[in-house]
Copies of this chain bind each other. A is one copy, B any other.
Amino acid sequence: METIESILEMKAWSSTTKAQGKKIAFVPTMGYLHKGHLELIKKAKERCPRVVSSIFVNPKQFGPSEDYANYPRNLERDRELAEWAGTDVLFVPKAEEMYPEDYSTYVEVEELSDVLCGASREGHFKGVATVVMKLFNIVQPYEAFFGEKDAQQLIIIRKMIKDLNMDIKIISVPTIRETDGVALSSRNKYLNEEERKQAVCLYQSILRAKEMIDSGERSAEKIKAGMEKVIKEKPLAGIDYIEIVDASKLKKLDSISGRVLVALSVKIGKARLIDNIMVEV
């Protein structure tokens, strides 16, 4: 596995690889890799002859009071894991090169970006869309891989690709969970033992929603109340949001029908955790 830091070198590698007729699969990450990321890389390797994974903690997607400086980083470990999972090139750009001092261009997927996580994280998805556009232009992938845990991100990136007529196929990979159901996340590192135990409430509340829907409940209000009750059983958990929206426009639903996203964000200790389930009703 090769590690590339420079944007120009990464572009050159991709151009050469494409000129050789080899399709590039791309897995963008913020590093501190866990099994969820490794699944993305493995899937990428299955589908394309060359895999580029990137590690870039994108400053533009963190708010001023968020955890950019403290976001967990461990490049040595990431390098080993990325290689083990099938990465050919690990792209690790520098923030100073990605965003030089006079940087001023942004991509924004309006309407989808100011709800759910976007409501509590102003500017977050503008930062995400912008960095993904930049990385796509640098890496020039045929396919790009994203986890379903970040459901809103996935929907926004798909919309950006469609609206801007980009030719990149987005492949999503189901959320990977610990044995107790907690979704893997680099931010789980922030949790102490007791917090980690209580973090299971996100998954439990999703199971509760699924149960209610399976047994015929269609009132979003009632399902959300059921989920809220599950979260409130854990004293360390503070609800950021619990929402039930349609899966394409992310509009709040009163009565659920069609493809529906049940999503929530919960603060536990220093971590803001998210989880979701996509349901077809």
Contact = CB atoms under 8 A, between A and B. Distances in A.
Interface of A: 7, 11, 102-112, 129-130, 133-134, 137-138, 159-160, 163-167, 248-249
Count copies of this chain in the complex: 2
Nearest to A129: B105
Which of A111, A163, A248 has the most CB atoms of chain B within a 10 A radius of its CB? Answer: A163
B107 A159 contact: no
B106 A108 contact: yes
Given A137-B166, A138-B165, A166-B137, A109 B102 contact: no
Given A105-B107, A106-B108, A137-B164, 9 more contacts: A7-B165, A102-B248, A102-B249, A105-B108, A105-B129, A105-B159, A106-B107, A134-B165, A137-B165
A103 B164 CA distance: 9
Contacts of A163: 103-105, 134
Nearest to A108: B106
B137 A104 contact: no
A77 to B, nearest CB: 28
Interchain residue pairs A-B with the least CB separation, the first 3: A105-B163, A137-B165, A104-B110
Contacts of A134: 163-165
A216 B144 CA distance: 57
A159 B129 CA distance: 18
19 contacts: A11-B165, A11-B167, A104-B110, A105-B107, A105-B108, A105-B159, A105-B160, A106-B107, A106-B108, A106-B110, A107-B107, A107-B164, A108-B108, A130-B164, A134-B164, A137-B164, A137-B165, A137-B166, A138-B165
Contacts of A138: 165
Contact of A133 (B11, B103, B164, B248): B164
Nearest to A126: B108
